[in-house]
Amino acid sequence: MVAGPAVFGRRAGLRQDHRFESRPERLCYGRVVFWILLATFLAYTIWRIFLGYPQPRRAYRIVAPREVAFLEAAGEATFPAGGAIPLSGRDADLPGYADGFLESLPRHLRLQVRAMLMLFEQATIFFPAPGRGGRRRFSSLSEEQRVAVLDGWSRSRLFLRRLAFTALRAVLTMGYLGHPIAMRHLRLAPLDFPSPIVEADLLYPAIGARKDSINWTEADLCESDGTPLDPNGPIHPSFRGDER
């Protein structure tokens, strides 16, 4: 139980000495100020973490608006427009990538990755960006400020900060370089070629299906002919479009 003002009042009534009269009042005011400060702090924290984010342009299954804002901002700072690859981090649909990635993770890891995104978004309180308003949320900073913040993480003397940066950049990079536009530009998109039908294909159905869905028969069996692939050959259909 936290002692409230009334308790102090009653105790004060037992004492007649005026030297003690002002103390409960002071304590009472102190408590009020404490509660006001706490409430303000909580309100600020809630606002800082959850509110004031724009509604995302499309719906996501897992990522929240605050994560969309952070991923777009971090993506833009990590892979700015006008670079050597004609795809910016903002255009690479990193929130879309992260949505699918998070969905595929076990719960405890999903929580860890989301906590990491929140850490970077909010840690400007402790590691502010240079210039005015450097303690704003990461996604509210100017692009130069975001670059400076990420630079601070990447060069930190603290191992754990560097590690966190490497983890964040890994998530962003996987999303960025996995994008069909980036893969095509680098001429690294997987090639399209037919898969031979082997004995195993007569045994295993597609994941989730039953074995009676297998359509191959022994007559279809064939094996790789070992011909080296032509690196300039057609690319796999899933890398031909402009969306992931």
Partner 1 sequence: MAGAAEATRGEVRVFAEYDRDFEEETDVVVVGSGPCGAVVAHQLAQAGRRVVLLEEGPPFIPSEFELEGSKSMSRTMREGGLRSTRGSILPTMQAIALGGGSLVNSAICVRPPEAVFQRWATGFDLEITNRETLDRHYDEVADFLGIAPTPEEVQGRRNTLFRDGCDALGYGSEPIARNVRNCRGSGECFTGCRNRAKQSMDISYIPAAIRHGARVLTSVQVQEVLREGSRVTGVTGRVAEPFSGRLGHRFTVRAKTVVLAAGCMATPVLLQRSGNLANRSGQVGENLQFHPGVAIAGFFPEPTTPQFGATQGYQSLHFLDEGFKLETLWAPPAVMAVRMPGFGHPLQEIFADFPNMAVWDAIASTHKSLGRVRARRGTLDPALTWHMHPDDVPILKRALFVLTEIYFAAGATKVTPGVNGVPEILYSRDEADVLLNHPIQASDLVCGGNHAFCTTRMHGDPARGVVDEYGRCHDFDNLYIADTGIFPQCPSVNPMFTGMALAHRQAEAILDRT
The residues that touch partner 1, with contacts defined as CB under 8 A, are 77-80, 82-85, 100-101, 104-106, 109, 113, 147, 150-151, 154, 159, 162-163, 166, 169-170, 173-178, 182-183, 185-191, 193, 195-196, 198-201, 203-211, 223-229, 231, 236, 238-239, 244
- Compute the distance between CA of residue 134 and CA of residue 140 in angstroms, rounded to an integer: 9
Q: In degrees, to the nearest 5, what angle opens at C-alpha 58 toward C-alphas 56 and 60?
A: 90
What minimum distance in Å lies between the beta carbon of 114 and partner 1? 13
Between 31 and 185, name the residue whose CB sits nearer to partner 1. 185
Between 17 and 243, name the residue whose CB sits nearer to partner 1. 243
Between 24 and 98, name the residue whose CB sits nearer to partner 1. 98
What minimum distance in Å lies between the beta carbon of 126 and partner 1? 21
What minimum distance in Å lies between the beta carbon of 58 and partner 1? 20
Between 7 and 105, name the residue whose CB sits nearer to partner 1. 105
> Which ranges in the chain belong to alpha helices (H)?
5-14, 18-50, 65-78, 94-104, 107-122, 143-154, 159-177, 180-185
What minimum distance in Å lies between the beta carbon of 93 and partner 1? 13
240 with 180: CB under 8 angstroms? yes
Q: Which two tokens stand for residue 172?
A: 């962003």
DSSP character for 212?
Answer: G
What minimum distance in Å lies between the beta carbon of 51 and partner 1? 29
- Compute the distance between CA of residue 237 and CA of residue 226 in angstroms, rounded to an integer: 22
- Quote the distance between the C-alpha of residue 162 and its chain's center: 17
What minimum distance in Å lies between the beta carbon of 100 and partner 1? 7
Q: Which residues contact 120 (CB under 8 A, 6 or more apart)?
A: 70, 74, 138, 153, 164, 168
Distance spanning both ends of the chain, measured CA to CA: 56
